[in-house]
Structures are given as C-alpha cells and as structure tokens.
Amino acid sequence: MNAPVSMPHVMPTYGRLPIALSHGDGLRVWDTEGRCYLDALAGIAVNTLGHKHPKLVPALQDQLEKLIHSCNYYQVPLQEELARLLVERSGLTNVFFCNSGLEANEAALKIARKYGHDQGIDRAEVVVYEKAFHGRSIATLSATGNPKVHEGFTPLVEGFVRVPLNDIAALEHVAATRPNVTAVFLEVIQGEGGVNPARTEYLQAVRKLCDDKGWLLMLDEVQCGMGRTGKWFAHQWSGIQPDVMPLAKGLGSGVAIGAVVCGPKAANVLRPGNHGSTFGGNPLAMRAGVETIRIMEEDQLLANAAHVGQHLRDALTRELGELKGVSEIRGQGLMIGIELDRPCGVLLQRAVDAGLLLSVTADKVIRLLPALIITTAEADEIVAILTPLVKAFLSETSAT
C-alpha cells in the first residue's frame, strides 16, 4: 500500500484513498509510484472515451490554441453545434449549457418553479424520490433522498414532495392531493442511491400522468446518459421523452460540462435574465462535447456499451450471483451495481490493492462504471480481479 498523500492545504471534504493518479491510457491509469490500475470507474462515469484517447486529445489541443473561454455576451458557435447534436439525438428542442450535473439539476428546478409561476402557482412543488441524488447545493441536496447528505444543512429548501421509486400508486396519491405540483424529477437509474433502475412500465406511467396533469417530466440523466446504457439516454429504452433532461459527466469525456436539454413544454420557460453561467458553454467544453459525440458514433460505442455491458453483467452473475450475501446484480449497459447484504466499503481499498478502481455506493453496492471503450477482455479482467475479493469479503464477514 502506498503512503497517504499529504494535502494539508486542501479542504478535507473527501474521504480519499492513499493513491494519487499520474496518467492514463485507455482503461489503464498509473499512480505517482508507477503502479498500474484497471479503471472500472471512469472518474464516476465521466471519462466516456477512457484516458488519452487518440482522437480526443488532438482536438482539445487544437481548441486550446484557438479559444478556451468566451463569455456569453457573444455568440459561441460551438454551443449551437453541440446543442444541435443533443437535440437531434434526443428529439427535444433546445439546450442550456452549464458546468456540472449539480448546475444542470439546479437549472431544471428553476425551470420547474418558473413553469409553475407562469401558470399562476406561486409555491410550486416538485415530486422527488427516495434514495435519489441530485447534487450538494442547498436546492439539489434538498431534492436528494439521502438523510446523510442533509445533515448539518437544514433548514432544507421547501417545495419538494418525496415518493418511493417504481410505486405509481404513491405518485397518483400526490396527484390527487397536491394541487401545486408542477414537475416530477427522477433519475432513470439512480446512481449514488445504489444503481436502482426505474422500471419501463413505471416511466411510461409517469409520462402519462405528467401529460394528464400538465406537469413537466424531468429526467436526471447526469450519470446514466450519454450512451452509458447502450442508448444515448437511458429513458430511450422505455420509448418516452422527457420535458427536461439534465446531463453532465460523460458529455465532455473529462472536461467539466453540464447541459439541460428541454422539450417544447419547457423550451421557452427561461428568458434573458432568468438564468446564466459565466463558464457555461465555453468553447473548450463545447469542443469536448462535440468531439465526444463524434467519436462515440465513429467508434460505435453505443453498441459496445450494450454488448460489453451485457457480457460483464452475465459474467458477474455467473461468478457471484448464487453466492450467499449477494443480494442482486443489476443495471444496464456499463452501469452495473452488485448489491451485498452488508456494508462493503472496505472493498474500495482492497480493490485498489488488487489493481482495480471501482466505487461502493449506498454502503452495500459495488458500482462499476467503466469507459465506453472497454473490451470484453477487459471486462473479463474486471471479473477476474473482483470475484475473489467479493468471495473473501463475504467469507470473512459471514459470521458477523
């Protein structure tokens, strides 16, 4: 194990592992001590194209030599180019650009409130979900369904009504009793909450209810979007369209970026002066988004995510699915969760020691989010490293 990295001048907001990454290539990264790791986390679903992609790096170098930043006093042609690509692939109408998933979700919540105000609802309410995670600003942590995220930051922002995922009766009860609701806001696959998918029939029922009530359907695709499930956006497996869709993470393949894609009902809610961002839509981030989409299509990474994701999930199910202590292996494409029946945070360090980067979320769920360039051989390598770690952990903790 490496010695802990000393960072005394950085605010201690993260529980960090004692390694520092130096560089990467494909699905491999190296730490400052020269040790190599297989990256099954991709910066938490950020590095869509892996590390040092031979098509992305020259494009970003080219943009760095031209223009990094332009404020939004002026037209930014790359914004229109990336917006067009997102609109064409989503079937929606227009896009607002920001810098992160939190900012995208914050903008979505502002849209929901403004949409209500435009209809004469002064205290608009938004339906949110148990186990959801939408960010750590005061508004987005209030929308988040994790009490640990709330601790120390009350009073929370008002105007949220919380329901369980995949329970349409609970949502129908809200519809019958809460006249100020203007939107439903959910992750198609909850990431931080434990890789919990919204069922197809549930999403379809929610879409119909939103249509019937005149609500906005806002689908947070910050983690599960941008090809991670094998389609551009995870909701497309259900054959529906949202009215508002926050994106971030994988959209820029490592460059900070966020976006809110809106359909006709929400496209013109925000007007000049209602919202903005100094860095949002800067040329470097926009070039990263344009090139990410171009490379994904050239290299057929949607099909790869679906194929290798299924291969990886099948292999994990074969090796771990029948073990006592493994509750469920779930997910879609390259967003996979292995839920155990006990807290398993110690596996973070054990995986690092074995040369594998992953995460543990919701205390009991091993989360795998590899880059979309992963091969079946690399998927098999993940299984070969992870399987004995899980088996040993379950064996030694079975009596406790």
| Active-site annotation holder among 97, 220, 243, 279 | 220
310 Cβ neighbours under 8 A, 6+ residues apart: 333
133 in catalytic set? yes
The CA–CA distances, whole Å, from 204 to 209, 211, 234, 237, 263 equal: 9, 11, 13, 11, 17
Residue 313: closest CA among 369, 362, 393, 392: 369
| Active-site annotation holder among 133, 185, 233, 393 | 133
| Active-site annotation holder among 96, 243, 249, 279 | 249
The CA–CA distances, whole Å, from 364 to 133, 340, 356 equal: 16, 5, 18
Q: Which token pair is 52? A: 């040092």
* 380, amino acid identity: D
211 in catalytic set? no
Q: Which token pair is 300? A: 């057929």
Q: Give me the active site residues, please.
A: 133, 220, 249
